[in-house]
Amino acid sequence: MTKQANEEAIEAGGDLAGRHIVLGLSGGIACYKAAELCRALIKQGATVQVVMTEAAEQFITAVTLQALSGRPVYTSQWDSREANNMAHINLSREADAILIAPCSADFMAKLLHGRADDLLSLMCLARPIATVPLLIAPAMNREMWAHPATQRNMAQLSSDGATILGVGSGFQACGETGDGRMLEPPELLEDMVAFFTPKVLAGQHVLVTAGPTYEAIDPVRGITNLSSGKMGFAVARAAHEAGAQVTLVAGPVSLSTPRGVTRIDVRSAQNMLEAVTERAQAATVFIATAAVADWRPASSAERKIKKDGSGQAPQLAFTENPDILATLAQSPRGVSGELFCVGFAAESHDLEDNAQAKRLRKGVPLLVGNIGPATFGRDDNALLLVDAQGSRELARASKLSLARQLVAEIASRIKRAG
């Protein structure tokens, strides 16, 4: 990539803006995924230098990776393009990280024993360990992955300071099904972003609720709302990026679970309360983003309620749902501050007044307000942070960007309180 292109990528922003990644490819069919991964890293603002082993060249061409990265691909330790003939030194010193994706079983064994008989292994051995981290995305057949030798090698590499990004499970090129597939490019990208994120919530256990609840009227009908869960899922991802252990209790939504997050699916407000209460004792932060239904039918019909031809709608009685946020905020751990509670308020009007009133009613130190109709289902939002000192706006941005700002705010408050 040219200097101008690099400057434009940084200016345009992106989660990896300004980062320089050496992307190493060892031999394996998963090399085809490296093309998409290279593209994804660059779209997030990184510059990418590709280094391939001889075996990798059997699966994908250097021409492809050069076109995608905008840089000449290196394949030999004797590359004459380097004036000092030390590509293994020059390339490693320029990197913010080296990512081996795919990393074959053979290459993992080579790294473990410090062998350096090609450019990629030589570069990994010669890298400054303290400043250039090594990340490994394994890719191999399920039996190779499960073999004790591979598991020993992986454990030792981790002990030596490498970061193992794990594997996926599913159908493999050999026709078998199981663990050992290289993670998909979006998953690896998410892991890379998380790796570089400051761990401001390290040591914290964050419990997040997200999405709507569904309150059944009969087996086919119910009461719910337009919450998509996107804000809560973004908060869970941001908290994980910041180093927290994260448990996400999600209402009925169709969203992928963020990497590294434990997810519990629930349906009704009562289900959500039970799931949250069970896990609150281990948590240190509770962030209630879920749009919990205020009311539910007093009873749910066992069969579908049919029209009877009278033209009269069925009479439904309602009962109030439990207040999940208030329950946790007013618990002994919530009152003492041992559990830092953050609420969300989705309003239709008078946002600051309603949010401040809700904060006092719930008994939480921080409440996040937004206009529900302007955010439900969208990928962006604008937030209002409300506490005892007043309010502060977070300008409209992507929900993930806002989630990261909120997580930083929570981390700052916890630090001050400690």
Residues 181 and 267 occupy one common structural domain: no
Residues 135 and 268 occupy one common structural domain: no
Residues 297 and 232 occupy one common structural domain: yes
Residue 6: pLDDT band (50, 70, 90) is very low
Residues 152 and 282 occupy one common structural domain: no
Residues 160 and 226 occupy one common structural domain: no
What integer best gives the mean pLDDT of the chain? 92
CATH code, 31:
3.40.50.1950
Residues 322 and 243 occupy one common structural domain: yes
Residue 186 has pLDDT above 50, yes or no: yes
Residue 97 has pLDDT above 80, yes or no: yes
Residues 228 and 364 occupy one common structural domain: yes
List, for residues 37-75, the tens digit of each pLDDT value: 999 999 999 999 999 999 999 999 999 999 999 999 999
List, for residues 286-311, the tens digit of each pLDDT value: 999 999 999 999 999 889 988 888 88
Residues 87 and 183 occupy one common structural domain: yes
Write down the pTM of the prediction.
0.90
Number of independent structural domains in the chain: 2
Question: Of the candidates 129, 161, 196, which is a domain's last residue?
Answer: 196
List, for residues 228-262, the tens digit of each pLDDT value: 999 999 999 999 999 999 999 999 999 999 999 99
Say how far apart CA 77 and CA 204 lie, in whole Å. 44
- The yes-or-no answer on residue 31 being catalytic is no
Question: Of the candidates 164, 196, 228, which is a domain's last residue?
Answer: 196
Domain extent, residue 20, equals 3-196
The helix-helix angle for 105-112 and 148-159 (nearest 10°) equals 50
Residues 109 and 56 occupy one common structural domain: yes
Query: Which one from 103, 124, 174, 341 is the annotated catalytic residue?
Result: 174
CATH code, 296:
3.40.50.10300
Residues 183 and 328 occupy one common structural domain: no
pLDDT of residue 7: 47
Tell me how far the alpha carbon of residue 405 is from its chain's centroid. Answer: 15
Residues 185 and 266 occupy one common structural domain: no
pLDDT of residue 349: 79
pLDDT of residue 81: 84
pLDDT of residue 310: 85
Question: Of the candidates 196, 213, 247, which is a domain's last residue?
Answer: 196
Residues 217 and 116 occupy one common structural domain: no
